[in-house]
Amino acid sequence: MEKILEVKDLEVSFQTYGGSVKAVRGVSFDLHKGETLAIVGESGSGKSVTSQTIMKLIPMPPGQITGGKILFNGDDIVPKTDKEMEKIRGKEISMIFQDPMTSLNPTMKIGYQIMEGLIKHQNMSKQAAKQRAVELLSLVGIPMPEKRVNQYPHEFSGGMRQRAMIAIALAANPKLLIADEPTTALDVTIQAQILELMKDLQSKMDTSIIFITHDLGVVANVADRVAVMYAGQIVEMGTVDEIFYDPRHPYTWGLLASMPSVDNDDNQDLAAIPGTPPDLTNPPKGDAFAARNKYALAIDFEEEPPMYQISETHFAKTWLLHPDAPQVEPPDAVKKRIRQLSSTFKTPVLVKEDK
């Protein structure tokens, strides 16, 4: 499959009064044409900084790309100037932000905000752009698009604004769409509709998507592959099945165990991962997750683990995968969660049953 994006050893820091915040610490992944990669992880793990760096939207300074490459269609965007990036942004790569109001212009009609990109990037006439704007609004499921196209953001409900933002992001028919927590502010029914819509558009346009979320439940429905981030690094990556049915990193186990179950009856064992993420101005020696990991080995406090390969698509950065490490199984709460999930998924469970 054709690779659209290759991120290699990306490092991003922010200079602050408290020191240099190492927000992204050697992130590598790639994305194929038409594929959806979900990035999950706790708050502050570097999901937004990673994705905003791909569009070069981090404020520089204080931000700085201190290492690595971002190959988009084989071309490194790290050295590109703002002017060069303007040709890529909104045309080749679009982004949907968490809060639609921060990226919609309240003083400009929705239709015009969609048309802007079409006129600027696709040299469309005003008339053709307006027609396309109506089509796009209809495509994202907004009723009466001919009327809506002439309205302002405040006349739209929250869900409608989110849809409008997706329409803007899709206006230029981007090759890569980055959606940063696009549904968290929405109620569950609208979330499901928006996700369905994105999948539908993807199949029509063969768009590649990076989907950022806290919600592992959403991941199962939208993603092909999942990258789990912790303290500025990817600690596990694999297909949705590998991450849900055969997770190998204790942090991923923690995320799965803290995921609300569909049947609400046993939410009492819903356990947040104890402890807090490390200070990224001074990341700890060894494995950054060690202090919170009840399976931590002595070496975790000394040396950073390598990324172990489990299958062609599955990788995890934990010393537990060293051939000499003790055999550790996911905790019962996680196995239970995996079994619950398997009743909602089609694929078989890989985890062994309890005795």
Ligand X SMILES: Nc1ncnc2c1ncn2[C@@H]1O[C@H](COP(=O)(O)OP(=O)(O)OP(=O)(O)O)[C@@H](O)[C@H]1O
CA distances from 89 to 43, 121, 126, 210 (A): 26, 10, 21, 15
Biggest distance spanned by C-alpha atoms of the chain? 68
* Residue of 4, 46, 216, 256 interacting with ligand X (CB under 6 A): 46
Tell whether residue 202 is a contact of Mg ion (CB under 5 A): no
Selection from Mg ion, ligand X, none that 317 binds (CB < 5 to 8 A by kind) is none
Selection from Mg ion, ligand X, none that 102 binds (CB < 5 to 8 A by kind) is none
**In the bound complex, what is the minimum distance in angstroms from residue 124's beta carbon to Mg ion?**
33
Contacts of 263 (CB under 8 A, 6+ apart): 340
Opening angle at CA 209, ends 206 and 214, nearest 5: 150
**In the bound complex, what is the minimum distance in angstroms from residue 236's beta carbon to ligand X?**
15
* Residue of 48, 162, 191, 239 interacting with ligand X (CB under 6 A): 48
Tell whether residue 51 is a contact of Mg ion (CB under 5 A): no
* Residue of 13, 45, 48, 53 interacting with Mg ion (CB under 5 A): 48
Of 4, 74, 36, 329, the residue nearest 200 (C-alpha): 36
- Segment 195-254, which members bind ligand X (CB under 6 A)? 214
* Residue of 19, 60, 62, 187 interacting with ligand X (CB under 6 A): 62
- Given CA atoms 232, 234, 240, 246 in this order, what sign does their dihedral have? negative
Q: Is 276 left (phi over 0), alpha (psi -120 to 50) or beta?
A: beta
Tell whether residue 182 is a contact of ligand X (CB under 6 A): no
Of 85, 234, 89, 61, the residue nearest 171 (C-alpha): 89
Selection from ligand X, Mg ion, none that 104 binds (CB < 5 to 8 A by kind) is none
What DSSP element (H or E) covers 165? helix 158-171
Tell me the site size for Mg ion, rule CB under 5 A: 1
Tell whether residue 23 is a contact of ligand X (CB under 6 A): yes
Footprint on this chain of Mg ion (rule: CB under 5 A):
48
